[in-house]
Copies of this chain bind each other. A is one copy, B any other.
Amino acid sequence: MSIHNQQTKLTIGLFGFGVVGESLYKVLAHTPSLNAQIKKVCIRHPHKKRNAPAELFTTDAALLLNDPEINVIVELIDDPVAAYYIVITALTGGKAVVSANKKLIAENMETLIGLQQQYNVPFLYEAACCASIPVIRNLEEYYDNDLLQGISGIVNGSTNYILTKVTEEKITFATALQQAQAEGFAESNPALDVNGIDAVNKLAILLTHAYGIIVSPSDLIHTGIQNLDENDARFATEKGFDIKLVAKACKQQDGTIAAFVLPQFVAKADQLSTVRNEYNGVVIESSLADKQFFYGKGAGGFPTASAVLSDLSALRYNYRYEYKKLNYQAPASLTTECYLKVCIRFRGILHVPQDRFDSILEWSCNRNHCHVTGILPLSQLTNSDWWKQPGISILLYPDGIFENYEPQRETSDQNLGFVEQLAEAE
């Protein structure tokens, strides 16, 4: 009972046969209906034992890239330089490309969009953002810029696993990180996850599909959980909050977008609070559909292969991202013209840079640290990294973004009192 005649048969050249590559191979074997076939797999180490017929493998990339029968390149390798070469060569050669490489995509978005246009080929990468959660496709399809109020996402499974363990099991960050590594949720070099680099790469990709903004991830305000400690976890628990590392984009009244990756207090009633361990979750708010929440595994072989599979399925009917928000007469732009309610922990009262706060609302200090809750212009986090220094942690409050903030005289007086009172404690 087939009703589709224009289906493209997919002949795949696969780069990489690691966890995701092998998962994809297995899954394709179980989905004959997709009518997709892996013709050749390019690997780096020819002598490694593989769970697939030997004749499938080659170490010669050109064998895949120059094969006219191969119409889709699936790129699932670790090496960013090689990945870039493969993707560019495939696109310029008129082949469709599917990739899960968020770093590659985020850092080269403009080039990659240009190539898709110039060579009229699709480049899909649903797996690059929250793996099994179809967030890119949904942002493309469902939300016009005008209607999209904001996105809040837990987009990195390793850090979420660590934060869950620290807050629920009261273990230290160091122990939790070890556990995450033991369970395979964190890289042996976990810096990219822990410092928020992975999350900000994903945020950059989301911004393109949500608002038509192309931005280098390194230009986005971001930090990870590297400076959080048990004092912060205790502080959150006392306030009744969870701590999550959240990638956020939030539309202001003038249409500009405030965007950043910061650790955040999350209220128990917030959907993001239900995202535990290595799972990911994204809340999308729009004036149309109200609030939507997508939850699923954000990493791992099969969840990532699942997203690659959905891209392959979409290629059969010639789906491509339209990047339609880039074509708007007045495309959205980023802003730092807003204010954050944050809790910042310093080593002691003398380390608090009071002049950076618009006002200080609450503080608590002891010999070892000083938690300051205050209002900070977002611009205070741009082009400076005082707030990322060792010993300093930052946590955004729930609903802690304000377009306007009028500091009150009383509050300023209070600041004065705060410093005078507590300088002695040092």
Q: Which residues of A come within 8 Å of B, CB atoms?
A: 1-6, 27, 30-31, 33-34, 113-114, 116-117, 120, 131-134, 138, 141-142, 144, 146-147, 271, 274, 286-297, 300, 302-303, 305-307, 309-310, 313-314, 317-320, 322-328
Contacts and interface: CB of A to CB of B under 8 A. Distances in A.
B323 A141 contact: no
Given A134-B138, A286-B306, A297-B289, A2 B117 contact: yes
B290 A293 contact: no
Contact of A5 (B27, B114, B120): B120
B292 A296 contact: yes
Nearest to A304: B289
Nearest to A23: B288
A4 B306 contact: no
B295 A289 contact: no
Contacts of A310: 141-142
Given A33-B325, A141-B310, 15 more contacts: A1-B113, A3-B320, A4-B322, A30-B147, A31-B146, A33-B144, A132-B142, A271-B295, A288-B305, A289-B306, A292-B294, A293-B295, A293-B296, A317-B320, A318-B318
A303 B288 contact: yes
Contact of A314 (B141, B146, B320): B141
A88 to B, nearest CB: 16
Contacts of A3: 113, 116-117, 120, 320, 322-323
Contacts of A309: 142, 144, 288
Nearest to A146: B30
A279 to B, nearest CB: 8
B319 A319 contact: yes
Contacts of A296: 289-293
A293 to B, nearest CB: 4
7 contacts: A1-B117, A5-B120, A132-B290, A134-B134, A141-B310, A271-B274, A292-B297
A147 B27 CA distance: 9
Contacts of A114: 1
Closest 4 CB pairs of A and B: A132-B289, A292-B296, A293-B295, A3-B117
A371 to B, nearest CB: 30
A6 B305 CA distance: 29
Given A274-B271, A323-B1, A30 B144 contact: yes
A35 to B, nearest CB: 9
A33 B322 CA distance: 10
Nearest to A123: B3
Contacts of A320: 3-4, 317
A229 B142 CA distance: 39
A30 B316 CA distance: 31
Nearest to A31: B144
Contact of A327 (B33, B147, B300, B327): B33
Contacts of A131: 289
Nearest to A113: B1
Contacts of A303: 288-290
Contacts of A317: 317-320
Given A2-B117, A274-B274, A302 B322 contact: no
A136 to B, nearest CB: 13
Most buried by B among A3, A33, A117, A291: A3
A324 B288 CA distance: 31
Contacts of A31: 144, 146-147
Contacts of A138: 134
B6 A318 contact: yes
Contacts of A27: 144, 147, 288
B294 A290 contact: no
B328 A33 contact: yes
